[in-house]
Amino acid sequence: MSLPSLTTPELKCTVTEGPEGLTFIFDGRAESVAAREALRSFLASADQTARARKAAQVKVDFGPLIFINSSCFKEFVLWLTTVSQRPVAEQYRLIFMANPGVRWQRASLHSLATFATNLVEIA
Amino acid sequence: MSIRREETLLVVSLCFPRLELAHLEHVRGFLNFLRLAPHQVGEDLLSDLTVSAHELMENAIKYGRDDGATLELRAPPREPSRLLVRTKNKASQRDAGRAGALVDRLTRGDPRAVYQEVLRESAARAEGSGLGLMRIAAECGMTLSTRFHRGVLHIDAWSNARRTRHEPAVADYAGAEVHRDRGP
C-alpha cells in the first residue's frame, strides 16, 4: 500500500516512513469545506495505511499548521474514535507534536489528549 | 474595516455584507493590528482572540440570515484588562436558542468537562461539529454570552485577562495534567 497524500491549495500533509514508523506533517490552513472533505478522505487513508503496516504508533505534527477550524478539528476526533473502537491489539498510538509557541495548537492537542487518553501522547 | 472611539475605549468593526465562507480568510488578518501593542496583547491572547473571531464568524456565516454580519473587537474603558470579540447577525429564533443553550451548558459546568462531553456527542454525529463555541470557552478560556433582540443575535466572547508576553495564559496546556484512566 502506497503512502497517502494530501495536497490542496490551502492544506497539505507530508507523509514519511522511517524506522520509527509513519509521520504526518500538516501544513497550511484547515478551515474550508474543501479542506475538511480532503482531510476526511486523507485521514481514512492514513488509518488504513497504519493498519496495513501494523503500526504501533504514528506521529502527527501540527507545527507548521497555521489554523484549524472546529469542523476540520472534528475529523481528528473521528480518527481517534475510529481507532479507539477497535480491539486493543489492533490499535496504535498517536503522538501529536505542536509548535510550543502557538497557543491554539497546545490547547487543541491537549483537548485531543484528554479525549483519547489511552491513545494520544503529546510530544 | 472601521475604527472609532465611542463610550468604549476602542471599537474595531469588520462588516461582511454577504455571508460567504470564503470571506473567513479575512478574519485572522483583522486582528493582526494588535501586534502593534505587544505590551498589552501577547501572542497567547492574540491566538485566543483570533480563534474566537474565526469560530464566531464561521457560525454567523453558516447560521445567519441574509443582510450580512458584523465582527467587532471592543476594549471597554471600565474593564481595561479585558477585550471583547462580538459577532452580530440576523438569526432565526431556533438558531439563537441553540446558541443560547450551548452557552448556558458551558456556564453551568466546567467548560473543559462540557467540551469533552460535546466532543463525544459530535463524534457520534455525521454532520456538523457543534464545537466552535466549545473551543472558544474551553481552549481559549473566553467567557461567552448571547443576546437575541429584534431578530439580531449577538454573541460575545470576553477575554478573562489581558495578558502580556511575559504572563502565562489562562491555562498552560504544555504543563496540564492529563488523566489517562478515562477513554473516549
**B179 confidence band (pLDDT: 50, 70, 90):** very low
Do B178 and A113 count as a contact with CB atoms less than 8 A apart? yes
Give per-residue pLDDT as tens, B56-69.
999 998 888 877 89
Shortest CA gap B42–chain A (Å) = 11
C-beta separation of B138 from B111 below 8 A: yes
Instruction: In whole angstroms, give the CA distance from residue A85 to residue B25.
Output: 36
- The CA-based angle A105-A108-A109, given to 5 degrees, is 80
> pTM for this one?
0.86
**From the CA of A93, how many Å to the nearest CA of chain B?**
13
Q: In sequence order, what are the residues at sequence separation of 6 or more whose Cβ sits closer than 8 angstroms to the Cβ of residue B97? A: B148
Region for residue A61 given its phi and psi (left: phi exceeds 0; alpha: psi -120 to 50; beta: otherwise): beta
ipTM for the assembly: 0.90
- Identify the pLDDT of residue A20: 86
For residue A81, what are the contacts with CB-CB under 8 A and spacing of at least 6? A116, B123, B184
Is B51 in Cβ contact with A104 (below 8 Å)?
A: yes
**Stretch 34-63 of chain A: residues touching chain B, C-beta under 8 Å:** none
**If pLDDT is split at 50, 70 and 90, which confidence band does B9 have?**
low
Q: Are B58 and A69 within 8 A, CB to CB?
A: yes
Which letter, b or e, does each residue of B59-91 get, where b requires 16 or more Cβ atoms within 10 Å of its Cβ?
bbbebbeeebbbbbbbbbeeeeebbbbbbbbbb
Interchain pair A103, B47: CB under 8 A: yes
The answer to whether A96 and A113 have CB atoms below 8 angstroms apart is: yes
For the record, the C-alpha cell of B5 comes out as 472611539
Contacts B129 to A, Cβ<8 Å = 70-71, 73-74
Contacts of B160 in chain A (CB under 8 A): none
> Would you call A70 an interface residue with chain B, using a CB distance cutoff of 8 Å?
yes
Which of A28-32, A88-92, A119-123, B5-9 is the least confident region?
Answer: B5-9
Q: Is A5's Cβ below 8 Å from some Cβ in B?
A: no
Q: Which of B55, B123, B183 sits opposite A77 (nearest CB)?
A: B123
Which residues of chain B are within 8 Å of residue A108 when distances are taken between CB atoms?
135, 139
* pLDDT for the residue A25: 98
Residues of chain A contacting B121 with CB distance shorter than 8 Å = none
What does the alpha-carbon distance between residue B9 and residue B123 come to, in Å, rounded to a whole number? 42
Contacts B134 to A, Cβ<8 Å? 70
Q: Which of B45, B50, B61, B119 to mutate to test the interface with A (most CBs of A within 10 A)?
A: B119
Q: Please give the grid coordinates belonging to residue B74.
A: 471592543
Q: What is the 3-state secondary structure (H, E, C) of chain B?
A: CEEECCCCCEEEEEEECCCCHHHHHHHHHHCHHHHHCCCCCCHHHHHHHHHHHHHHHHHHHHHCCCCCEEEEEEECCCCCCCCEEEEEEECCHHHHHHHHHHHHHHHHCCHHHHHHHHHHHHHCCCCCCCCHHHHHHHHCCCEEEEEEECCEEEEEEECCCCCCCCCCCCCCHHHCCCCCCCCC
Contact at CB, A69 and B180, closer than 8 angstroms: no
DSSP state letter for A85: T
Q: Do B180 and A117 touch (CB under 8 A)?
A: yes
**Cα dihedral across residues B77, B82, B84, B85: positive or negative:** positive
| pLDDT of the residue at B99 | 94
Distance between CA atoms of A4 and A46, rounded to whole angstroms? 6
- pLDDT tens for each residue of B95-117: 999 999 999 999 998 999 999 99
Kindly report, residue by residue over B14-66, the tens digit of the pLDDT.
Answer: 888 777 777 777 787 788 777 776 666 788 888 999 999 999 999 998 888 87
Q: Which pLDDT does position A110 carry in this prediction? A: 95
Q: Which residue of B has its CA nearest to A67?
A: B51
Q: For the residues of B46-69, what is the DSSP string, one character each?
A: HHHHHHHHHHHHHHHHHH--SS-E
**Between these two residues, B105 and B129, which has the higher pLDDT value?**
B105
Across chain A, the runs of DSSP E, i.e. the strands, are 6-7, 11-18, 21-30, 57-61, 65-68, 93-97, 120-122
User: Between B54, B120, B174, which is nearest A106 by CB?
Assistant: B174
Does B182 contact A109 at a Cβ distance shorter than 8 Å?
no
Instruction: Read off the DSSP letter of residue B80.
Output: T
Stated as kind and residue range, the H or E segment containing B144 is strand B143-149
